[in-house]
Each structure stands twice: as structure tokens, then as C-alpha cells.
């Protein structure tokens, strides 16, 4: 691709030659998959990673920063300033979730028809404006409305970026990219605690309280990231107009996806919807994500509430914001471990991570449900709960593989996974994570333990169904090949 003599050749022909070149993997691919690939493919992946992963990670960091900041603001003065009481924090979180739920599937359907480089940055621009508006809210009712609209605007980002990642990367590349993207949520929640501890010193500057500055700084960080998305996102291989990709690299991107069995755009017809909703994909993968999303959230707000309620010792506001970030440090390490082992040691298998994360979650949550345990072990349970947080990337990588031969199904399934998981999250915390039950949350820990067990069972069911699907496709392919041989022999 880099030779001067090749510049006059058809980019499509050059792309086919590069994709057809088989490179035997060595130990270096265990470190990073592109190290064993051709120079042309390494250059292509470097450009793609630099643009897609950078924007995805920064955008998701800001989204999660905003999502986490409502909890940090609540324990840092907002509760007292706005005279919040009872379960009003739960209501704010629930209204955000309702907006998030309403927007996800429509957003992913729109995304399969509108360029991601237009749709996704525009959503981020809207929620940036709403984040600025949050700092000026002075009643619970206004916060309810703003949180609903923020959830609606943020709803398309995560499934949308997972869709974009699934449109460009191959099987041996997917889990790492998907999990690196998801890691930014842990970084955001860590950063939110540190940010609140730092921003709290701006108390009174410009007439704003410390918790108000948290949202102002969040918006200031978010604005340039949103604007950069219009240039950084490459859309999809078949319609990309990314300035940083050459004509040959665009053709190369299309050929890579053809080799993975990814299909191009097709119309949404009655037959298409019947095919999607008569398959096990949408139901089992959605159940897997429901159990992950609602069965691995036992530590984040509960850890802060435990520290806030403590009287011996009495923790300061900066400690309440910073100490829970240790859980997200564990999440980052385990997320990356799941990704690398899945793509390398386990040769593309996604289920082992769900078993490890699920077992650790059951151990921690059963212990916390008992509550009357040694204080050292209680802290360990809060922190080690991060083992279960990092499975989202694996779930979406698995979904992209399972639905790889149908673009519209992939968009609808990934949107449904996230949406239905948040439908459950909209009402479940009101029953089992009540603010009035803090800091013990016994019902919450028991519920999460049961969901973690169900998640492990669903992961094994998904594995069995996926293997059966692969076997069925192989038999069909062998049958078609045999028919071609017979026809050729007769000819």
C-alpha cells in the first residue's frame, strides 16, 4: 500500500490482496493483536483506534461522569441546599433511566440510516447543554425534568458507539476495543470522585456552590469532545468519508468486514422483523445483559452511603468521594484482563469472564447482605465488587459476533440489550435499593446475588446456543460446497 508503484492500481484490488494475506500469529499478538499483522493493516488499525477509541472513550467518560456526578453532588451539599429528602435521589436516577430507556432502540434504528458522525456528536452536544443547565437547578422538580432529558440525549451514545466498533473490527480485535471503551466508565467514576474533591475547593467562587461547579466543569470538558466527533467518527466501512483514511484503506475496511461475514445495509421489512424476533439472539442476549447490568451494581452508591453514615470514624467529604474509586480501579484491571484473555488465551470465548465476575459478585454481595462482618472484609467486599463491573464489553463483542451476518439485527439487538436492561434498572432500585434502607441495603445485596447466579447460567446458555449455531452454519456451508462439486463433476 505504501509503494509508489501501487498508487496507480485499483484500491479495491490492493485491499483484496492485503486481506487475503495470511499472517501467522506469534506471542506478540497476546500483547496487542495488530503487532502480528501486515504493515498495511497495522497502519489502518492505528488510524482507526486513534479516532474511534479516542472519541468513544472520551465521550463515554463524560457520559458516565455526568451519571456519577449526581451521586457525588448529592453527598457534597446538593441534598442540603435543595432540601432533598426520602427517596428523591432515587426518583432523579429513575427519571434519567426512563429517558435513557425511551431513546435507545429508536436511536440505534436511526443510526443505521443516519451517519454516526452526525447523529452521535449531536446527541453529546445536547446533553452538554443540559449539563450546564443542571448547575442552575434550585428545586427537585427542575432536576427531575433535566435528568429525564439528559437520559434521553445520552441514550444513543453507548449502544451507538458499540455499533460503530462492531462495524469496523474483526473477531480477534473486538473484545479488546469494546472493553477499552467500557473501561472509560470506570475511569469516569474514579475521576468524578477526584473531581468532586478538587472542585469542592471552588465553593463560593462566582457565587456557585461546590456541587454546582462539578456540573459546570463537566460541561466545559464535554463541549470540545462533542465537537470533535463530527471529524473523528468514520461512519461505516461502506459509506465512510473520514479524511484520515485513504481510498485504499476505505476499501480495505470493507473487505475486512466481508471476510468476517458482515453484510451491508438492507431495508427494514416485515420479513426482516420476523427473522429478528423469531431468533434466540435478541431474547437470550438481552437477558444476559439485564442480569449483568442489574446484577453488578452493588458497590458504587452503597460504598459512599456507608462512608457517609459512619460515625466512628467520621469521614470528610473528600474521603467519601475518593475512597469508593478503588472499586473502579479494580474494574479497570479486570475489564482489561477479561478482554485480553478472551481474545487470546480463550481463543475468542467470551463466557469465562462472566463466570469469574459472577462468582466474585456472589461472594461479595452475600457477605454484605449479612452486614455484621469484620470491617476489613466489608471494605474488601465493596472494593472487590469491581470484578463484576467490567463485562459489558464482552457482552457486546459476543453480540456482534453472533449477529455478524445481519446489520439490522445487530443494531436492534445491541440497542435492545442496553434498553431492556435499563427498563429493569428504572424500577428495580425503587424496590431493593431504597435510600431509606441505606447503608445496609440487605434486599439489594440479596437481589444482586440472585441476578449474578442467573447471569452465569445465561452465559452458559448463550455459549451452547452459539456453538450450535456455528455448527449449523458449517453444515450448511459444507452442503453447499458438496453441491457445487457435484455440479462441476457433471459439467
Q: How many CA atoms lie within 13 A of 458 on its CB side?
A: 24
* 52 lies in some domain: yes
For 406-421, what is the mean pLDDT? 88
Q: Specify which of 34-43, 83-92, 267-276, 283-292 reaches the highest per-range mean pLDDT.
A: 283-292
pLDDT value of residue 17: 66
Distance spanning both ends of the chain, measured CA to CA: 40
Confidence of residue 377 (pLDDT cuts 50, 70, 90): very high
The band of 370, judged by pLDDT with boundaries at 50, 70 and 90, is: very high
Out of 313-317, 380-384, 423-427, give the one with best mean pLDDT.
Answer: 380-384
- Global confidence as pTM: 0.79
Long-range contacts of 201-205 (CB under 8 A, 24+ apart): none
pLDDT band at 399 (very low <50, low <70, confident <90, very high): very high
Residue 479 lies in a domain: no
CATH number at residue 118: 1.20.1250.20
Contact residues for 160 (Cβ-Cβ < 8 A; gap 6+): 107, 108, 111, 116, 119, 120, 123
**Residue 29 to residue 476: CA distance in whole angstroms:** 32
Is 10 contained in some domain?
no
pLDDT band at 121 (very low <50, low <70, confident <90, very high): very high
Q: Is residue 363 part of a domain?
A: yes
In sequence order, what are the residues at sequence separation of 6 or more whose Cβ sits closer than 8 angstroms to the Cβ of residue 326? 383, 386
Task: Tell me which of 39 and 189 has the higher pLDDT.
Answer: 39
Classify residue 268: in a domain, yes or no: no
Examine the pLDDT at 491 and tell me if it is beyond 60. Answer: no
pLDDT at residue 278, as a whole number = 94
Question: Which of the residue ranges 6-10, 78-82, 87-91, 449-453 has the most confident prediction, judged by mean pLDDT?
Answer: 449-453
Indicate whether 27 belongs to any domain. Answer: no
Q: What would the mean pLDDT of 423-429 be, rounded to a whole number? A: 84
- C-alpha cell belonging to residue 59: 465521550
Q: What is the mean pLDDT of the chain?
A: 85
Q: For residue 272, is it within any domain?
A: no
Statement: residue 310 has pLDDT above 60: yes
- Provide the pLDDT confidence category of residue 23 given band limits of 50, 70 and 90: low
Does some domain include residue 78? yes
Judged against a pLDDT cut of 90, whether residue 355 lies above it is answered with yes
Which residues span the domain enclosing 292?
Answer: 32-260+277-474
In this predicted model, what pLDDT tens digit does every residue of 458-475 receive, in sequence order? 999 999 999 999 888 777
pLDDT over 90 percentage in the chain = 37
- What is the total count of domains within the chain? 1
> So what's the pLDDT on residue 1?
46
Tell me how far apart the alpha carbons of residues 256 and 261 are, in angstroms, rounded to a whole number.
9
Amino acid at each position: 500500500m505504501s509503494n509508489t508503484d501501487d498508487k496507480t492500481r485499483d484500491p479495491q484490488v490492493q485491499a483484496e490482496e492485503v486481506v487475503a494475506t495470511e499472517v501467522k500469529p506469534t506471542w506478540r499478538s497476546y500483547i496487542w493483536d495488530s503487532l502480528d499483522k501486515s504493515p498495511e493493516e497495522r497502519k489502518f488499525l492505528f488510524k482507526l483506534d486513534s479516532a474511534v477509541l479516542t472519541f468513544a472513550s472520551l465521550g463515554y467518560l463524560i457520559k458516565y461522569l455526568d451519571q456519577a456526578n449526581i451521586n457525588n453532588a448529592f453527598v457534597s451539599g446538593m441534598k442540603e441546599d435543595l432540601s432533598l429528602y426520602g427517596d428523591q435521589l432515587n426518583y432523579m436516577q429513575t427519571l434519567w433511566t426512563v429517558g435513557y430507556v425511551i431513546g435507545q432502540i429508536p436511536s440505534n434504528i436511526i443510526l443505521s440510516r443516519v451517519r454516526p458522525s452526525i447523529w452521535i456528536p449531536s446527541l453529546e452536544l445536547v446533553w452538554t447543554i443540559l449539563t450546564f443547565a443542571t448547575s442552575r437547578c434550585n428545586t427537585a422538580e427542575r432536576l427531575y425534568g433535566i435528568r429525564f432529558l439528559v437520559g434521553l440525549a445520552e441514550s444513543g451514545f453507548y449502544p451507538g458507539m458499540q455499533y460503530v466498533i462492531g462495524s469496523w473490527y474483526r473477531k480477534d480485535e473486538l473484545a479488546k476495543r469494546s472493553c477499552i471503551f467500557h473501561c472509560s466508565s470506570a475511569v469516569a467514576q474514579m475521576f468524578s470522585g477526584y473531581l468532586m474533591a478538587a472542585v469542592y475547593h471552588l465553593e463560593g467562587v462566582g457565587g456557585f456552590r461546590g456541587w454546582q461547579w462539578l456540573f459546570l466543569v463537566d460541561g466545559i470538558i464535554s463541549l470540545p469532545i462533542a465537537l470533535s466527533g463530527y471529524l473523528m467518527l468514520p461512519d461505516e466501512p461502506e459509506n465512510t468519508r473520514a479524511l484520515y483514511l485513504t481510498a485504499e484503506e476505505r476499501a480495505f475496511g470493507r473487505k475486512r468486514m466481508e471476510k468476517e461475514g458482515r453484510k451491508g445495509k438492507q431495508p427494514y421489512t416485515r420479513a426482516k422483523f420476523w427473522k429478528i424476533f423469531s431468533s434466540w439472539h435478541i431474547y437470550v442476549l438481552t437477558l444476559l445483559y439485564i442480569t449483568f447490568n442489574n446484577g453488578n451494581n452493588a458497590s458504587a452508591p452503597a460504598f459512599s452511603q456507608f462512608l457517609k453514615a459512619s460515625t466512628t470514624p467520621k469521614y470528610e467529604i473528600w474521603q467519601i468521594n475518593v475512597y469508593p474509586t478503588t472499586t473502579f480501579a479494580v474494574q479497570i484491571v479486570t475489564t482489561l484482563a477479561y478482554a485480553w484473555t478472551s481474545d487470546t488465551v480463550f481463543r475468542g470465548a467470551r463466557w469465562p469472564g462472566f463466570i469469574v465476575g459472577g462468582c466474585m459478585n456472589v461472594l461479595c454481595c452475600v457477605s454484605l447482605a449479612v452486614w455484621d462482618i469484620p470491617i476489613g472484609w466489608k471494605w474488601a467486599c465493596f472494593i472487590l465488587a469491581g470484578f463484576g463491573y467490567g463485562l459489558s464489553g464482552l457482552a457486546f463483542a459476543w453480540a456482534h459476533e453472533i449477529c455478524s451476518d445481519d446489520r439490522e439485527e445487530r443494531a436492534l439487538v445491541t440497542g435492545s440489550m442496553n434498553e431492556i436492561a435499563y427498563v429493569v434498572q428504572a424500577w428495580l432500585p425503587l424496590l431493593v435499593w431504597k435510600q431509606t434502607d441505606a447503608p445496609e441495603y440487605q434486599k439489594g445485596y440479596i437481589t444482586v446475588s440472585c441476578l449474578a447466579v442467573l447471569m452465569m447460567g445465561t452465559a452458559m446458555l448463550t455459549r451452547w446456543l452459539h456453538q450450535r449455531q456455528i455448527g449449523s452454519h458449517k453444515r450448511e456451508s459444507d452442503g453447499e460446497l458438496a453441491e457445487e462439486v457435484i455440479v462441476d463433476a457433471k459439467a
